[in-house]
Each structure stands twice: as C-alpha cells, then as structure tokens.
Amino acid sequence: MSALAREVGSDDTAGRLVRPFTLTGGRTRPSRTDFTLITTVTAVDPPPERAPRPQPEQTRILRRCARPIAVAELAAHLDLPVSVVAIMLCDLLEAGLITVHPPHPVTPRTPDLDLLQKVRDGLGRL
Amino acid sequence: MAGSDTTVETIAPPDTVKILIAGGFGVGKTTMVGSVSEIAPLRTEEPLTVAGLGIDDLNGIEQKQATTVALDFGRITISRELVLYLFGTPGQQRFWFMWNDLAIGALGAVVLVDVRRPDSSFAAIDFFERRGIPFVVGVNGFYGEHPYPAEDIRDALALPADVRVLLCDARDRESCRDVLIALIDQLIADARRAS
C-alpha cells in the first residue's frame, strides 16, 4: 500500500464528503425523543403538497424509508450516526414527510405474555 | 387481479422489539448476531464525548475523550406484525453502556462468556444485574468445545440460581436460537410468576 493510500484509508470517515453534524446544522440533539434505534419510520406517499422541498440528504432518507424501516437500519445504510439521523428525521416528521411507529412498549413490571409467546413461537420456527 | 390487491397490501409498519447480545471483547457477539439474523449484520456508530472516564489515563488528568461506540445488529422477522432486533456491542470498547437507549425497552439480554476468559464478561453481567434487565448466559465454546459443565461456569461467575447458563456455539444458528429461546422462556416464566 502506498503512503498516500495508507493515509487516506486509515481514516474511518475517508470517503465521507460531509461531516455528519453539518447535515444537522450543528445540532447534536433531536428536538424530540421519538426516535429510538428500533422506531420504525415510513415516508408519506405521496408527500403533502405544502411540504418544503427536501434537501439531498433528506431525499436519501425518504428513498430508504419508502417501506417501513427501523432507525438503526436507516443509519447503517446511510453510514451516519443514529443521533444525526434522528435529528434529520425530526425535520422530516415536522414537515409531514414521514410517519413514525414506536417500538412495542416493554416494561419489566408488566410483562406482555402474549408478545413473549409470539416471539417464542417465531424463534421456534427458525 | 394484480391491481386489486394493492389496497390490501398497504405496508403497515411492524411492531419492533429488541434483545441485547453483550459480553467481553472477542467473545463472539457479532458472530452470534450473524448466525441467527436474516440479514448480514449491520453496523452503526455513534460519536461520544466521554468526560472524566479515562480509566486508562495514568496521569489522573481529567480530560474529555472523543470516542466512537459501535453496534452490530441483525433482524429476525417473527411475523408480518412483529420484528425482533438483536444488538451486539462489538470491539474492545468500554463505553457501550453509554449508548443512550440501548438498554431501555429491551426484552432482555444474552451475555456471552468465553470459557477461557470468563472475567471479560463480568462488566456486562454487572450492568444487567444492576439495571434489573433479565438475562441468560451463553457460554461460547470455541471450536464447539466445552471443557467445563455449565454449573462450573455459574460458580465461576457467581451467578444467582435463577439465571440460566447454556453451553452454545456462536457460529451455529440452532445453538444461538436455543439461547434466545431460553431467554424468552425465562421471561415467560417470570411473567407467569408475577401474574
């Protein structure tokens, strides 16, 4: 490997043209906390008529969530931190361009036997 | 009839649940995720700023560290309405527990243990015990070998009697599935006892 290749290749972010938090206008926290790793997001199709024109990175997200997709999967496919994707999803949600489906609520004090049985059955079929 | 189905086929988002796969460095977490996942494991990384946690810092100087914490994860579609995600914490990183919502809302966890270095999984066991998150222990036998019975591992890890310990092979799909089923069975038993 040449010295140049080593230098370029040694950095994980090599190849990424934009620093992640420039995509969020420098914001490091989402304005709301709807977006967990396994929250599912779906693009609204067709988009609302009055919605602002999405930015290029937003268009990438919208294309990825034409079908429901979990936030963690979206972040992995986009090669962006989940925190950055969450901020961008906030903007898309506020613009009415996506819908959000929260994860199944799990609370240790009130276990959901029906849910557990479904997971058990599903694993049994693997 | 091709067109008439489209209205029925509206894609309702599935409910999602998650299980964590934890344990020490190099114990086989990502291997386990890959063995049972229907997709090749995906990775997502989060930048973290860690203040005053430089436990390797011999100078005792408090300083902010920029680090990245990574998660490898996979997916098991249980049904059209329900999808299970498995999150593993790869690499030699000390800060995975700072991943904000990792533990919140998890059904439970699998702590993988390497028989050759059981102490490398102490931190993970401690984490789940403190948070009251149910877990089972999977003893990953490298090359499928298990020199010690499960009870010896339980003693070595000082595990309470109600935590199940299973011998497994992280490379083997059915073996990993059985560990996940053991966790769910434990959760079901706990739920029945509570109700």
Is pLDDT larger for residue B94 or for residue A69? A69
Which residues of A fall within a CB distance of 8 Å from B77?
122
Q: What is the pLDDT of residue A5?
A: 40
Q: How confident is the model at residue A7 (pLDDT cuts 50, 70, 90)?
A: very low
Which residue of A119, A120, A121, A125 is the best one to mutate when testing the B interface, meaning the one whose CB has the most B CBs within 10 A? Answer: A119
Is pLDDT larger for residue A30 or for residue A55? A55
Q: Which of A37, A83, A123 is facing B184, going by the closest CB pair?
A: A123
Which residues of A fall within a CB distance of 8 Å from B187?
111, 116
Which residues of A fall within a CB distance of 8 Å from B12?
68
Quote the ipTM score: 0.85
Instruction: Determine, for residues B78 and A67 on separate chains, whether the beta-carbon distance falls below 8 Å.
Output: no
Strand order in the sheet with A69-70: A69-70, A40-43, A98-101
Place of tokens 């429901």: A68
Instruction: Determine, for residues B76 and A37 on separate chains, whether the beta-carbon distance falls below 8 Å.
Output: no
Lowest mean pLDDT among A28-32, A89-93, B70-74, B127-131: A28-32
Place of tokens 């403190």: B130
Q: Which domains, and CATH codes, for chain A?
A: 18-124 (1.10.10)
Q: Which of B15, B82, B85 is facing A72, going by the closest CB pair?
A: B85
Which residues of A fall within a CB distance of 8 Å from B35?
none
DSSP conformational letter for B28: S
Q: What is the pLDDT of residue A1?
A: 41
Q: Are B46 and B112 in contact (CB under 8 A)?
A: no
Q: Which domains, and CATH codes, for chain B?
A: 13-194 (3.40.50.300)
In 3-state terms chain B splits into helix, strand, coil percentages (rounded to 5) of: 30, 30, 40
If we measure between CA atoms, which residue out of A2, A77, A71 comes closest to residue A30? A71
Q: pLDDT tens per residue, chain B (195 residues)?
A: 444 444 444 578 999 999 999 998 889 999 999 999 999 999 998 887 665 444 454 454 455 567 778 899 999 999 999 999 999 986 656 677 666 678 889 999 999 999 888 888 988 898 899 888 999 999 998 777 888 999 999 999 999 888 999 999 999 999 999 999 999 999 999 999 887
**Rounded to whole angstroms, how far apart are CA atoms B179 and A2?**
46
Q: What is the pLDDT of residue B15?
A: 96
**Rounded to whole angstroms, how far apart are CA atoms B94 and B92?**
7
User: What value, to the nearest 5°, has the Cα angle with vertex B122 and ends B116 and B126?
Assistant: 160
With a cut of 90, say whether residue A20 has pLDDT above it: no
Q: Are B50 and B95 in contact (CB under 8 A)?
A: yes
**Entry pTM:** 0.85
Q: Are B167 and B146 in contact (CB under 8 A)?
A: yes
**Rounded to whole angstroms, how far apart are CA atoms B195 and A33?**
32
Q: Is the link from the previous residue into A111 a cis peptide, with omega within 30 of 0?
A: no
Instruction: Determine, for residues A115 and B82 on separate chains, whether the beta-carbon distance falls below 8 Å.
Output: yes
* Nearest CA-CA distance, residue A54 and chain B, Å: 23
* Nearest CA-CA distance, residue A104 and chain B, Å: 5
* Nearest CA-CA distance, residue B141 and chain A, Å: 22
Which residues of B fall within a CB distance of 8 Å from A117?
188
